Structure 1
Amino acid sequence: MIEPGIIQLTRFIPHPPEKVWAALTDPVIHARWWAAGDIRAVVGHTFTLDMGQWGQQPCEVIAAEAPKLLSYSFAPGTLNTTITWRLTPEGDGTRLSLEHKGFDMDSPLGKTAFNGMGNGWPGVLTRLSEVVA
């Protein structure tokens, strides 16, 4: 059972974890599939992601273990959510899991963000897969 306020998606990407990891942690590649920002896989690193019409969203890396795990706070002070990426080797490729949690389903902003991102994340993962290829 998935608890309310959590988005969970999994994708198989037919490339090794190191290549997927680069897409998640290299700012130039990251900007090609999701958002521009100075992302780095260093615990404590703060950065912003340019979310276009939704503005600059602050983030802070809370866990990083190359090429297995990357987790960061997303929009602390407004959404107060956490995005976690897990990479698991599978054959010649990678099983990529996304968990975006912490949405306040009792607030209008939390509900709107949850619905918007729930609908948007599948397309973002498709773009990530295309960029890795």
Structure 2
Amino acid sequence: MQATETRSAIVEREFPHPPEKLWRALTQPHLIEEWLMKNDFKPVVGHSFNLRGEWGGVLDCKVLTVEPNRTLSYTWNFAHDDAAFNLESVVTFTLTPTATGTHLRVEQAGFQPHQKQAYGGAHAGWKQFFDKLDQLLVREG
């Protein structure tokens, strides 16, 4: 049996802030809510949590990796009435210090070949989330 090839949506951006500052925004629930979604996140491997979108959807997530100021990953699963829209993916944030701040890379892996709309939506969505993250970091000083 052949394994189904999946695709990853990858968005990268340079932020003029130290990794510690980005890490706080990625791991503190009240800050996550400002740029991503309402949540009950804890930066603890094995912790199950939900992300609740303004559109009414709920994502079931579980923390997989926590390496402070370096790597964070969690499952990003969405169950839909129409099975074609079900999504089981993993989101990984990688922080790399640079001379002027931090390079942040997000990869959402696990899109099935037929999920072109979800894949495109994720790509556009992460860019919007990064815009909100940037605004939050500037506000936080």
* TM-score, structure 2 as length reference: 0.84
Q: 2:36 and 2:78 mapped to 1: Cα distance?
A: 19
User: What is the match of residue 84 of structure 1?
Assistant: 92
Unaligned runs of 5+ residues in structure 1 are none
- Deviation of the 1:34 alpha carbon: 1.1
SS in 1 for 2:42: coil
Q: 1:111 and 1:51 mapped to 2: Cα distance?
A: 20
Alignment of 1:1-133 (within 5 A): 5-75=7-77, 78-106=86-114, 110-133=115-138
* TM-score, structure 1 as length reference: 0.89
Unaligned runs of 5+ residues in structure 2 are 80-85
Q: Which runs of 4+ in 1 moved over 4 A?
A: none
Q: 1:6 and 1:85 mapped to 2: Cα distance?
A: 13
SS in 2 for 1:64: strand
Q: 1:54 and 1:115 mapped to 2: Cα distance?
A: 20
- Deviation of the 1:99 alpha carbon: 0.5
Superposition RMSD in Å: 1.6
